């Protein structure tokens, strides 16, 4: 029998691991230069936590059996888990909370829950795997994904929105991703524009717009005015100034007008904050997979070799944290996640990624059975002298020619022969 991973799962071999590590390290460095600190949440969560109050459908979650009253699941994304951790374990004083997390006594952060109405902004970043259940019609579809991302919690307003977009842009510039752009939408405004449709057909209109399915949209049973409204909403994408000009002609309520003004302020702030214009498209037909977004939503995309890649997705979720708060207190939040797989695919056609897995620096070889212990000690001594040195120990009784061929194949730079008298003989390799 030939053993293979389950359908939808895959193994990562050393070179791919090295390339994705390279991507992840650059992203984490950029997050940290903006003041974000890494958080690690549980891979397993209660299903109630993962579904985010119904914003995430349970069938998206890979569920696990549990003998208790509640069901467990593997996280399909990180935002809900981080929101849960933030409001139950990180409320109150930021720096003191950080020290409590690191306490060897393992004390809980519970004393800081609900510590006053004011909460300092929390800048958190992560690198993690997520799991998403595939539908029965997509047997073999990928189940495990690798992400890196940030969450800015307890901070609202246009400036926080701008920080997210600009940080995402810096990440893509840092990695050298070719030919990318950011699609920017507004979940609250889009919902407002959809509210004119009867509830019985509103979901169908929303799905057509979300999936860019104009043919089905044109076939829906709508009167002429609603049909025109649906097609107008379907086409609300393009240069920000053009889309905003078109929106200003609509009959909007006061809340929608304020949202449009906030969008204008955000775009002006973005345009004045970068040395070169951002490749930005305003797309009010943009709807995200997870339905907890309340404000701006955005997506970074790239087109390579006639294929599109979704590099990142995110948005504002000002109601989500209230689901997990012990007192039900609502707090603002915004974040994004980057797809390591799609970033990797975009960079494979470039020369930016490492082209080889790391090689070892030296190979320590005992020449007789009597000096094997000496060889072990010498290898340990080398590692202790320089903890960045990669030292390998020869384990078999191969011939000198075989050892040199192996070293050449593995790009080992130095051979250290431990002679019969216990002394090392160093041989440099080209």
Considering the domain architecture, whether residues 40 and 133 belong to the same structural domain is answered as yes
Q: Are residues 322 and 424 in the same domain?
A: no
**Mean pLDDT on 38-46:** 92
- Judge contact between 150 and 31, C-beta under 8 A: yes
pLDDT per residue over 158-189, tens digit each? 999 999 999 999 999 999 999 999 999 998 89
In this prediction, residue 103 carries a pLDDT of 37
Q: Which of 90-104, 120-134, 242-256, 373-387 has the lowest mean pLDDT?
A: 90-104
Please check whether residue 5 lies inside any domain of the structure: no
* Token pair listed for 421: 């008298």
Q: Is residue 236 one of the residues assigned to a domain?
A: no
Is the pLDDT confidence value at 7 over 80?
no
Q: Residue 58: give the domain boundaries.
A: 14-156+318-347
CATH at 420 = 3.40.50.800
- pTM value? 0.85
| pLDDT score of 126 more than 80 | yes
Is residue 119 classed exposed, middle or buried when 0-12, 13-18 and 19+ CB atoms within 10 A define those classes? buried
Looking at the fold, whether 333 and 373 belong to one and the same domain comes out as no
**Considering its fold, how many domains does the chain have in total?**
2
What is the pLDDT confidence band of residue 278, given thresholds at 50, 70 and 90?
very high
Query: Among 364, 366, 361, 375, which Cα is nearest to 412's?
Result: 361
DSSP alpha helices (H): ranges in 146-198?
A: 158-175, 187-194
Say what the pLDDT of residue 59 is: 82
């Amino acid at each position: 029998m030939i053993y293979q991973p389950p359908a939808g799962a895959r193994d990562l071999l050393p070179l791919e691991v090295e390339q994705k590590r390279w991507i992840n390290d650059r992203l984490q460095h950029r997050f940290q230069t903006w003041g974000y600190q890494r958080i690690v949440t549980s891979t397993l969560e209660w299903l109630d936590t993962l579904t985010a109050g119904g914003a995430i459908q349970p069938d998206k979650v890979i569920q696990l059996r549990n003998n208790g009253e509640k069901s467990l699941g593997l996280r399909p994304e990180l935002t809900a888990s981080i929101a849960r951790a933030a409001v139950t374990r990180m409320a109150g004083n930021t720096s003191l909370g950080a020290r409590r997390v690191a306490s060897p006594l393992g004390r809980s952060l519970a004393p800081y829950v609900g510590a006053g109405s004011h909460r300092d902004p929390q800048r958190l970043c992560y690198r993690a795997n997520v799991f998403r259940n595939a539908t029965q019609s997509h047997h073999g579809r990928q189940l495990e994904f690798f992400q890196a991302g940030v969450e800015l919690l307890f901070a609202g307003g246009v400036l926080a929105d701008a920080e997210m977009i600009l940080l995402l842009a810096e990440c893509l510039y840092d990695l050298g991703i070719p030919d990318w752009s950011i699609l920017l939408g507004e979940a609250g405004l889009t919902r407002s524009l959809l509210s004119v449709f009867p509830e019985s057909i509103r979901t169908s209109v929303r799905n057509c717009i979300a999936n860019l399915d104009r043919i089905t949209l044109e076939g829906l049973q709508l009167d002429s005015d609603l049909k025109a409204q649906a097609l107008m909403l379907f086409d609300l994408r393009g240069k920000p100034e053009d889309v905003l000009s078109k929106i200003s002609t609509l009959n909007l309520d006061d809340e929608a007008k304020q949202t449009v003004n906030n969008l204008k302020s955000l775009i002006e702030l973005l345009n004045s904050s970068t040395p070169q214009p951002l490749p930005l498209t305003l797309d009010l037909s943009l709807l995200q997979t997870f339905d907890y977004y309340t404000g701006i939503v955005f997506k970074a995309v790239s087109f390579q070799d006639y294929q599109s890649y979704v590099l990142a997705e995110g948005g504002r979720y000002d109601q989500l944290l209230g689901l997990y708060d012990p007192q039900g207190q609502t707090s603002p939040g915004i974040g994004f996640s980057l797809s390591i797989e799609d970033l990797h695919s975009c960079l494979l056609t470039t020369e930016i990624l490492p082209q080889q897995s790391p090689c070892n620096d030296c190979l320590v070889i005992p020449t007789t059975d009597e000096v094997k212990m000496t060889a072990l000690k010498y290898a340990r001594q080398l590692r202790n002298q320089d903890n960045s040195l990669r030292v390998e120990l020869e384990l078999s009784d191969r011939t000198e020619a075989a050892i040199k061929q192996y070293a050449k194949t593995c790009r080992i730079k130095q051979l250290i022969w431990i002679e019969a008298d216990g002394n090392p003989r160093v041989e440099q390799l080209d």
